Amino acid sequence: AQSVSQHNHHVILSEAASLELGCNYSYGGTVNLFWYVQYPGQHLQLLLKYFSGDPLVKGIKGFEAEFIKSKFSFNLRKPSVQWSDTAEYFCAVNPGYSSASKIIFGSGTRLSIRP
Amino acid sequence: DTAVSQTPKYLVTQMGNDKSIKCEQNLGHDTMYWYKQDSKKFLKIMFSYNNKELIINETVPNRFSPKSPDKAHLNLHINSLELGDSAVYFCASSQEFNEQFFGPGTRLTVL
């Protein structure tokens, strides 16, 4: 069965530290990849997405992610985190080119930033 | 001019009651979804409609019944509410395989 794994359940960092959140998926075909962020008490918002082209994708708020096909990974990075980055982060994979394809979400990583 | 809206935002009710949550999107998208997010933040898809047709129906108790009167609306009706139904329910929409836009969520508490 297709799955998305986010191995870090809870990450705690100090402000200005660098961030990398892992995301691995299990699907051998073409995929569309997403990272969403959910700030406390709010809904999910798109941070960035990868469909094709440059595997290094830049998103909003200084986030970026790198698609490594050989590793089935799409890790999220930010060089210097801020307290306002405290949130839940979800990786998602759409295994196919159809809206009928079920987008699969990872279990989420909670990011806590110490001021 | 909210893109995806849900009502109500909060819903507190007794076990055994029947309740509905409404969702509307003004983005012109062709696909709408219902997700359930539990207390551990795990997000599980429940249903998906494409052009008013049900295309994804996960293993969800038949007490949950979605209804899509048109492309812009997807409502969720829940019969005989149980304690385990307490969660945050998110509506979302997308155009084909593009990213999903989420509504603000409905926090359902069953007492």
pLDDT digits (tens, 9 = 90+) for B13-70: 999 999 999 999 999 999 999 999 998 888 888 998 888 888 877 778 999 999 999 9
Which residue do the tokens 């990974």 mark?
A: A73
Question: Which residues make beta-bridge pairs with A65?
Answer: A57, A76
A43: which chain B residues are within 8 Å (Cβ-Cβ)? Answer: 90, 102-105
- Cross-chain Cβ contact A103/B100 below 8 Å: yes
Contacts of B90 in chain A (CB under 8 A): 43-44
**Contact check, Cβ <8 Å, A105/B43:** yes
In chain B, which ranges are E strands?
Answer: 4-7, 10-13, 19-25, 31-37, 43-50, 53-57, 64-70, 73-78, 87-94, 101-102, 106-110
Cβ <8 Å between B97 and A107:
no
Cβ atoms A58, A79 nearer than 8 A: no
User: Is it the case that residue B4 has pLDDT exceeding 80?
Assistant: yes
Non-local (6+) Cβ contacts of A20 within 8 A are A75, A76, A77
Q: Nearest Cβ partner of A49 from B96, B99, B101? A: B99
Q: How many CA atoms lie within 13 A of A110 on its CB side?
A: 8
- Chain A residues inside the 8 Å CB shell of B103: 43
B45, B56 contact by CB (below 8 A): yes
Which uninterrupted H or E stretch holds A27? none
Q: Amino acid identity, residue B58?
A: E
Does the structure show a pLDDT above 90 at B101? yes
Residues in chain A with CB shorter than 8 Å from the CB of B105 are 43
Note whether B45 contacts A: Cβ–Cβ < 8 A.
yes
**Cα gap A22→A97, rounded to integer Å:** 24
User: Are A101 and B104 within 8 A, CB to CB?
Assistant: no
Residue A14: predicted pLDDT: 97
Q: Does B94 touch chain A (CB under 8 A)?
A: yes
Selecting from A36, A90, A101 the residue whose C-beta is nearest the C-beta of B97 gives A101
Residues of B in contact with A38 (CB under 8 A): 41
Hey, what are B10's tokens? 């909060």
Distance separating alpha carbons of residues B46 and B61, to the nearest angstrom: 10
Query: What separation, in Å, do the N-terminal and C-terminal C-alpha atoms of chain A show?
Result: 40
Whether residues B42 and A107 touch (CB distance < 8 A) is answered with yes
Share of chain A above pLDDT 90, in %: 76
Query: What would the pLDDT profile of A47-95 be if each residue is shown by its tens digit?
Result: 999 998 999 999 999 999 999 999 999 999 999 999 999 999 999 998 7
What is the three-class DSSP state of A69? helix
Decide: residue A48, CB within 10 A, 0-12 exposed, 13-18 middle, 19+ buried: buried
- Quick check: B96 pLDDT over 90? no
Distance, CA of B99 to CA of A64 (rounded, Å): 16
